Chains A and B, each alone.
Chain A
């Protein structure tokens, strides 16, 4: 039996039925009926943002730290277009979101009405799927389908565009159990024959490596648990992409650290020299592979992924396994154990010996200073002073992001939220608020650069309003650090537009927002200042004035293979050739 209600009420009812606790949004003319329904209930909390892009990043932070879909509600036209960056960000990083947009009434669609935009047209390539609902009777079912699509298979953002007259009209409500979702059922179990073949390879491999990614996190905490069991039982080394940090603990004995363009020397060299690469939920992104032709030339490659289009997209693999990471790992462990837990122990010992040699290079070493705060030092101290706490880290995009990935360690999944695929400056502040809303009592820190942070700084207002005690740890070098680094390496030290002129006084800015501001420029005072930030019961903007011209190393220059990493400034001369210069 379907109950009759207005479309606006259906939205709220469907959210309740989906177990949604919080919506990030911003009202406007075309969503007023839904906001009226939100006003008249107390089950769903609404977080009022300052800009729609912030709403989407908050929902991403919420989703990544909980594993549940994030929900966004914005109005038509500019509300929808402002959300677009967040949608693409979530699409690139496979984050489940359900975004509701208002639309002009159906009879006005196509007339260039006030605040009209072709939202489904604009967001079609920015979402996993989207819907324009023109019939109130179909609204509830569409919402339930949207949650299903967003969270099934490879997760991603979906969008539902709801014209205002559809919100006002009355129709029959369809419950989540009655909604048809049967036609979209991605396969989660991997082929057992292929899994057995992988066990064959694992038993004899001389130089194996696990290369894991965000797919492990997306598969749920169970998948991370299985991964830990598998890695520890086999004794194979493991490295992870930026997206996958925390799936295997940084304190684990087989952990090599992050790989990729700014990954660790030992991780990249092990990738280059391995004879068996087991890719679990990663996608051979260009930040990982470097020059394709020289990518891990001697290895057999297995690839576990739930998305068929990820397999063989960039790198040809020998053994594709299509399925959900958790399901595949469960079967993989079962088969490997049943066959006697075999590994090639002598070869493995020699392999670890080789890795120990690379580790001895101590690739994260930097020149310390007693007068200026080195950004690496700031992160080392942040790490030391928050060690052992259940800590959530978000970042903006740039040098600080890479340093955070290198110097902070992650012991559990869902504790690390960063814009990986799209590289969205302005992601970290709103994301940190979304995380804090999901975990009100947790320590949430946004490691930021000053330039990125300014891109969505208006959301400090949201943090203050909703008493989200997020810590904004800004590594302020008064530069667009990564851009400056590339200009130094690639463009003859012509630093075109890569400095931050006329920066605000961040302490005064904090006061203006009604939160706490701290500034520190002296390495000797840094510990106390960080402690003050951690102890403060409320949002903090921490202006950490760091060395202005520090470069982020190690680095695989564009167009170079893994074994041609540069470890420090001394090696940068002519590091990037003309071919590499056209790459980003």
Chain B
């Protein structure tokens, strides 16, 4: 089963053979869920998380195969390994869900997020914001005499770091897309 990160139909070993089942240490996992793009499918996934008390740190969804009506939902969640395995198994049994991948355990993955930052200020602060934006390779997508809107792409950590730097410089609004992720290599 893809949901359990073991070969489909194989049950000779479970993920539990590999790890301590009683480990209560919470860790963050990025799950890629491929679903039929049909009405209500996102509600099913979100309902599963709220109904069973799981966490969602970030969630993105968009159609990725127009002809095949497939959407990709990327969820960043946290929990003990037992909980993460249960989340994957529960996702796997939703009828329109085709595949569940745990990008955190299935080898290395690229994770990116896009964010827009509105920073208001004049004088020295405005110059400093622009200088830092340059260091972070953020681009200016809107500008007035009192404000900038920066666009930045990167890992969630990079965007957090940029937000920390912008806050004292007049950060007034943030919009983030949530994480999109793909495994590296083929």
B98 touches A308 (CB 8 A): no
B11 touches A322 (CB 8 A): yes
A125 to B82, CA, bound (A): 22
A308 touches B3 (CB 8 A): yes
Quote the shortest CB–CB distance from A5 to chain B (angstroms).
Answer: 24
B14 touches A312 (CB 8 A): yes
A448 to B88, CA, bound (A): 40
B95 touches A149 (CB 8 A): yes
Contact of A311 among B44, B89, B94, B98 (CB under 8 A): B89
A322 to B93, CA, bound (A): 13
A129 to B44, CA, bound (A): 9
Instruction: Specify the chain A residue showing the minimal Cβ separation from B22.
Output: A316
Residue-wise, chain A 304-330 has the 8 Å CB interface mask toward B (1 for contact) of 000111011100110011110000000
Residue-wise, chain A 281-312 has the 8 Å CB interface mask toward B (1 for contact) of 00000000000000000000000000111011
Contact of B21 among A125, A128, A184, A312 (CB under 8 A): A312
A125 to B51, CA, bound (A): 8
B10 touches A191 (CB 8 A): yes
A317 to B13, CA, bound (A): 11
Residue-wise, chain B 65-97 has the 8 Å CB interface mask toward A (1 for contact) of 000000000000000001001100110111110
A sample of 30 inter-chain contacts (CB < 8 A) reads: A121-B43, A124-B43, A125-B47, A129-B96, A130-B40, A132-B39, A132-B40, A149-B95, A154-B93, A183-B36, A183-B98, A187-B1, A191-B11, A194-B10, A194-B11, A194-B12, A308-B1, A308-B4, A308-B93, A309-B86, A309-B89, A309-B93, A311-B14, A312-B14, A312-B16, A312-B21, A312-B86, A316-B22, A321-B11, A323-B9
Chain B residues lying within 8 Å of A309, measured Cβ to Cβ, are: 3, 86, 89-90, 92-93
Contact of A308 among B36, B47, B92 (CB under 8 A): B92
Size of B's binding interface in residues, CB under 8 A: 30
Instruction: Specify the chain B residue showing the minimal Cβ separation from A128.
Output: B95
B16 touches A184 (CB 8 A): no
A311 to B85, CA, bound (A): 10
Instruction: Specify the chain A residue showing the minimal Cβ separation from B38.
Output: A131
- Which B residues contact A (CB, under 8 angstroms)? 1, 3-4, 8-12, 14, 16, 21-22, 36, 39-40, 43-44, 47, 51, 82, 85-86, 89-90, 92-96, 98
Residue-wise, chain A 142-163 has the 8 Å CB interface mask toward B (1 for contact) of 0000000100011000000000
Chain A residues lying within 8 Å of B85, measured Cβ to Cβ, are: 312
A308 touches B10 (CB 8 A): no
Instruction: Specify the chain B residue showing the minimal Cβ separation from A184.
Output: B95
Indicate whether A190 sits within 8 Å of B90 (C-beta atoms), given known contacts A128-B95, A316-B16.
no
A191 to B13, CA, bound (A): 10
Quote the shortest CB–CB distance from B73 to chain A (angstroms).
Answer: 16
Instruction: Specify the chain B residue showing the minimal Cβ separation from A305.
Output: B11
Chain A residues lying within 8 Å of B86, measured Cβ to Cβ, are: 309, 312-313
Interface of chain A residues 149 through 197 with chain B (CB within 8 A): 149, 153-154, 183-184, 187, 189-191, 193-194, 197
Chain B residues lying within 8 Å of A125, measured Cβ to Cβ, are: 47, 51
Quote the shortest CB–CB distance from A422 to chain B (angstroms).
Answer: 15
A193 touches B12 (CB 8 A): yes
Say yes or no: is A20 at the interface (Cβ < 8 Å to chain B).
no
Quote the shortest CB–CB distance from B35 to chain A (angstroms).
Answer: 11
Instruction: Specify the chain B residue showing the minimal Cβ separation from A322.
Output: B11
Say yes or no: is A576 at the interface (Cβ < 8 Å to chain B).
no
Quote the shortest CB–CB distance from A560 to chain B (angstroms).
Answer: 21
Chain B residues lying within 8 Å of A250, measured Cβ to Cβ, are: none
B4 touches A124 (CB 8 A): no
Chain A residues lying within 8 Å of B82, measured Cβ to Cβ, are: 312, 316
Chain B residues lying within 8 Å of A190, measured Cβ to Cβ, are: 11
Known: A120-B40, A191-B10, A309-B89. 19 other contacts (CB 8 A): A121-B40, A121-B43, A125-B51, A129-B94, A129-B96, A132-B39, A149-B95, A153-B93, A183-B98, A187-B8, A189-B9, A191-B11, A194-B10, A309-B86, A309-B90, A309-B93, A312-B21, A313-B86, A322-B9
Chain A residues lying within 8 Å of B43, measured Cβ to Cβ, are: 121, 124
Chain B residues lying within 8 Å of A154, measured Cβ to Cβ, are: 93
Indicate whether A323 sits within 8 Å of B11 (C-beta atoms), given known contacts A308-B4, A316-B21.
yes
Instruction: Specify the chain A residue showing the minimal Cβ separation from B8.
Output: A187
